[in-house]
A and B are shown apart, each in its own frame.
Chain A
Amino acid sequence: MFKSAHRKPGQNTYASQVEKYSTLKYPHRLNFYDRPPLDDITIEEFEICALDRLRLLAEIESSYARNRTWEELKQVALKQSEHYLPLNSNTAKNKNIEAERRKDHIGHFVLRLAFCRTEELRRRFVKAELALFKVRYESDDRAEREEFLQSRDFGWDAVDDAELKMYAEQLAAASPPPMSQAGGKALEKYYKVRWTRVPDLVEKRRVFLKGGMAYVPAREQSSIIFEEFQRSLEKSLQLTLKHLPRLDEDTRIVPLLDNLSQGFMAGISSEWSSAPEAAGDEITADMIDGLARKHFPMCMRHLHESLRRDKHLKHHGRLQYGLFLKVLGLSIDEAIVFWRRSFSTMQDDKFNKEYKYNIRHSYGLEGKRANYPARSCQQILTSDTPGSQDSHGCPFRHFSSENLQTGLLSMYSSQGLGASDLLEVMSYVKNGHYHVACTRVFEITHSSQGVKKGDGVGNGESVTHPNQYASRSRELEKSSESVKVEGDGDVTMG
């Protein structure tokens, strides 16, 4: 499906595509993804659509890992959707509905390619996609949803009047109408489907069963639709898997797909903006000790303390920490000051020769002058696994459980993390939800600033980037300081 498309990237621009299909292509907001996108897609589009969707799915997955209720999950997913994958109803004004729906369509199919490859990936992808579909279904405009349902053959038969009469008593007992409708004379509509399509209703005995057919009241039809969505996606993923080897020819696609699925496995979805923070946020070498204590995630705390202890950091450690500090707002001049002082046992000569160039290089001032972004959690989790002498990596993933617990207590007990919190944090770690563990540490250590369990780094979002962690932590401090100032003001006035 993407085969012809990525052979000739850039041939069609996003805008012209949108124009071309602006009227009839996506009449409905909801999509069962029965048909792949057939028009040309640029490689850039391919990636953007996938990354934005992945971000959303990763939040859904971490909502499950954090035992959020369905309502909470829904709120998180809707909020994230607004940012990354808005999907408006037909009545929305001034929105490019077609473009939104096309992005939704493409992103889904790209991720199918990335997630069809192992049983584990398929299972997790189906679960997250199903949740996203449910969220949208429940938030859809009633009339539009009805239209969508009419547009697709779900293979259900309406139960005829004769049967309704024959089984009236059983139907009423199996699926009693909600209180508001009780006593109403009008017969409710029922659909007949094979019981295997509504296992959740069967399990809870919420339908009448006869000869293998389930008699599903109209108000429960969402059950059939969700089951159908799941079943058809599972089947499609198997088919995609069969066709996948043909993609191997394309050297650009495969690494991209690897990257996407790895990100999902690590629970991470996207890059934190690598642009330096707004002016006024610049930091100096002198400030770093203080910042580290108050705002750094554990990986950076650990790098900082290793640097202080050993007066040195190995290559990957310097890279991970240096780029983090750059994005935090450390200018090139301050960076040179910082690293020169930190390597206190090193001769000037050696520093200038071997290290200064690399620092300038990482700021894009030497060599090919690239603006290197800071490492995301995904990169830290999945690439350059640390050896026994290294200090880089993600402590939640790369530390032994004992070292992790000792480290957590020594670094964060002053910010309110106690031994009683370890059990919960460690349970996330044991299940491989490293980012959830890190997010929980953030919540605990910022509870004095009003952060509650489930808030994450804001809007329920999980930690996906060390700079996101640090920057949210600093924002919280600023806003609580301003509250304090106001508070003081009040006291004076009173």
Chain B
Amino acid sequence: MPAAMQEDLSPEVMLAFYRRLYPFKSLFTWLNHEHTPTKQFINREFAFTLAGDVYLRYQSFVTADEMKKQVCQMNPTRFEIGPVYSARPRDRKTVRPTAFQPQLRELVFDIDMTDYDSIRTCCQDAAICARCWKFIAVAVRVLDSSIRDQFGYKHLLWVYSGRRGIHLWISDAEAMELTDEQRRALVGWMTVIQGGKDMVKKVNVRRGAAGPLPPSLQAVVDSYLKFAFPDIILDDQNLFSVRERWEEMLKLLPPGKVRNELQEEWDMDSERASADKWQDMRDAIKSADSKEKSTLKLVVQDIVLQYTYPRLDAEVSKHRNHLLKAPFCVHPKTGRVCVPVDPSDIDNFNPEAVPTVGQLLQELNNVVTETEGEHHSDWEKTSLKPYVDMMDKHAQALMEEVRKTKRGADLSW
């Protein structure tokens, strides 16, 4: 992304962004769930990263305006959101340590493209393109549908991380209240890919060697992964045309006749297209004897999972007091804004089309002649608008939820 690399992120640019474009009001409503400030916002920790990598924790604010003022004054390169504590974070030194405990926090997930390096051929490390974004798109679909269906949560906000990943923030009341133990349990439920580089078989989800897949994973394979696998791994990435990669895959098969035959066959034609190799394997399994065949059928499902199931950064999700970059911050390397993403349209999302801070300020200069005073909603005149609207719509639903709960409480007596 040569264009992005040259993005001007000088303090002046950042300050203009915070003053004129950053939607503080939307951020406030999303975190607060109501119009009047509650402890959900007031007791919330923000952490600022200042120029020179100075990290400033335990910032807290009473209103969106106060927050904007402070952000403009300190002009951080970015800021992160932490938990809601039992007291105001900025007062933490004046209260007893026992009275300063994390209490609430969105359930968050972080998916990063670097965890996919061993299964993508198009890019490596920090780089990302529309082709490898497909991995993220599958992850979003799987995670979004699983959490809604299995855990019953409704208020999910997906946010592009600005470079090569995506964050999920879940704001349902129960999700906010989860203890670390419960978060760990939920992450355990969602985690399928386990083990580092040296672990060949990274999927071990059956109970017993030949047990069925857990129903949640069977559903995911049936609805998404069995389509994503040929599409991404075989066609797009053509992963198994690389010797190292097909050998890795072959090791997932149990030692035996089928594996040996395929090894011999592909040794002679190492660059044979992935789809053709996959067909070779299916044919070989078809003609295997019945005992080997039934084992291999399960192995094929496990392979599909290993190559397409979302790879989660579990640590981020397990702890209530983990800090995560706020939506609408600017990525310090790319200059792109961390915008909300619509999961139902995830396949059409193009990370390279996300506006950069320079581009937005340019748009602004083209349409408005600067007037005196604050610029609360200048974003309306830029391509940031659809993203802020998405956030506002999401926050509206959260507020509606609170209103319903309150009405219920009023009626209950």
Question: A-side interface residues toward B, CB under 8 Å?
Answer: 118-119, 169-170, 172-174, 176, 194-196, 199-200, 202-206, 208-213
Most buried by A among B150, B174, B213: B150
Contact A205 B214, beta carbon cutoff 8 Å:
yes
| CA distance in complex: A173, B153 (Å) | 23
Give the distance to chain B from A273, nearest Cβ to Cβ, in Å. Answer: 38
Contact B150 A203, beta carbon cutoff 8 Å:
no
Which of A119, A208, A212 contacts B151 (CB under 8 A)? Answer: A212
| CA distance in complex: A246, B168 (Å) | 46
| CA distance in complex: A194, B218 (Å) | 22
Residues of A contacting B185 in the complex (Cβ-Cβ under 8 angstroms): 199-200, 202-203
Residue of B nearest to A201 (CB): B185
Contact B98 A119, beta carbon cutoff 8 Å:
yes
Q: List 27 A-B contacts (CB under 8 A).
A: A169-B215, A172-B212, A173-B212, A173-B214, A174-B214, A174-B215, A176-B207, A176-B212, A194-B174, A196-B174, A199-B184, A199-B185, A203-B184, A203-B188, A204-B188, A205-B189, A205-B214, A206-B207, A209-B189, A210-B149, A210-B152, A211-B149, A211-B151, A211-B152, A212-B151, A212-B152, A213-B152
Contact B213 A173, beta carbon cutoff 8 Å:
yes
B216 close to A (CB within 8 Å)? yes
> What is the total number of residues of chain B having a CB less than 8 Å from a CB of chain A?
25
Give the distance to chain A from B273, nearest Cβ to Cβ, in Å. Answer: 35
Residues of A contacting B152 in the complex (Cβ-Cβ under 8 angstroms): 210-213
| CA distance in complex: A196, B189 (Å) | 12
Residues of A contacting B150 in the complex (Cβ-Cβ under 8 angstroms): 209-212
Most buried by A among B151, B208, B211: B151
B182 close to A (CB within 8 Å)? yes
Residues of A contacting B98 in the complex (Cβ-Cβ under 8 angstroms): 118-119
Tell me the chain B residues, 167-188 only, with Cβ under 8 Å from chain A.
Answer: 174, 178, 181-182, 184-186, 188
Contact B153 A212, beta carbon cutoff 8 Å:
yes
B303 close to A (CB within 8 Å)? no
Which of B189, B215, B218 contacts A202 (CB under 8 A)? Answer: B189
Tell me the chain B residues, 139-155 only, with Cβ under 8 Å from chain A.
Answer: 149-153
Contact B184 A173, beta carbon cutoff 8 Å:
no
Total number of residue pairs linking A and B with CB closer than 8 Å = 64
Residues of A contacting B212 in the complex (Cβ-Cβ under 8 angstroms): 172-173, 176
| Additional 5 contacts, C-beta under 8 A, given A170-B215, A199-B184, A212-B150 | A195-B186, A205-B205, A208-B215, A209-B151, A210-B152
Residues of B contacting A210 in the complex (Cβ-Cβ under 8 angstroms): 149-150, 152
Which 8 A-B pairs rank lowest in CB-CB distance, beginning with the nearest? A212-B152, A199-B185, A203-B188, A170-B215, A211-B152, A203-B185, A209-B150, A173-B212
Residue of A nearest to B178 (CB): A196
Residues of B contacting A204 in the complex (Cβ-Cβ under 8 angstroms): 188
Tell me the chain B residues, 210-254 only, with Cβ under 8 Å from chain A.
Answer: 211-216, 218
Residues of A contacting B181 in the complex (Cβ-Cβ under 8 angstroms): 199
Residues of A contacting B207 in the complex (Cβ-Cβ under 8 angstroms): 176, 206
Question: B-side interface residues toward A, CB under 8 Å?
Answer: 98, 149-153, 174, 178, 181-182, 184-186, 188-189, 205, 207-208, 211-216, 218
Contact B186 A202, beta carbon cutoff 8 Å:
yes
| CA distance in complex: A172, B151 (Å) | 19
Residue of A nearest to B189 (CB): A202
Contact B215 A196, beta carbon cutoff 8 Å:
no
Contact A199 B216, beta carbon cutoff 8 Å:
no
Residue of A nearest to B208 (CB): A176
Residues of B contacting A176 in the complex (Cβ-Cβ under 8 angstroms): 207-208, 211-212
Give the distance to chain B from A240, nearest Cβ to Cβ, in Å. Answer: 14
Residues of A contacting B189 in the complex (Cβ-Cβ under 8 angstroms): 202-203, 205, 209
Most buried by B among A174, A205, A209, A212: A205
Residues of A contacting B215 in the complex (Cβ-Cβ under 8 angstroms): 169-170, 173-174, 208
**Given A119-B98, A212-B153, A213-B152, CB of A205 within 8 Å of CB of B184:** no
Residue of B nearest to A210 (CB): B150
Residues of B contacting A118 in the complex (Cβ-Cβ under 8 angstroms): 98
Give the distance to chain B from A183, nearest Cβ to Cβ, in Å. Answer: 15
Give the distance to chain B from A18, nearest Cβ to Cβ, in Å. Answer: 39
Residues of A contacting B218 in the complex (Cβ-Cβ under 8 angstroms): 173
Residues of B contacting A169 in the complex (Cβ-Cβ under 8 angstroms): 215
Which of A199, A206, A211 contacts B182 (CB under 8 A)? Answer: A199
Residues of B contacting A173 in the complex (Cβ-Cβ under 8 angstroms): 211-215, 218
| CA distance in complex: A260, B216 (Å) | 48
| CA distance in complex: A174, B218 (Å) | 11
Give the distance to chain B from A184, nearest Cβ to Cβ, in Å. Answer: 18
Residues of A contacting B151 in the complex (Cβ-Cβ under 8 angstroms): 195, 209, 211-212
Give the distance to chain B from A205, nearest Cβ to Cβ, in Å. Answer: 5
Residues of B contacting A209 in the complex (Cβ-Cβ under 8 angstroms): 150-151, 189, 216
| CA distance in complex: A169, B214 (Å) | 10
| CA distance in complex: A206, B189 (Å) | 9
Residue of B nearest to A234 (CB): B179
Most buried by A among B174, B186, B189, B212: B189
Residues of B contacting A119 in the complex (Cβ-Cβ under 8 angstroms): 98
| CA distance in complex: A205, B152 (Å) | 16
Give the distance to chain B from A163, nearest Cβ to Cβ, in Å. Answer: 14
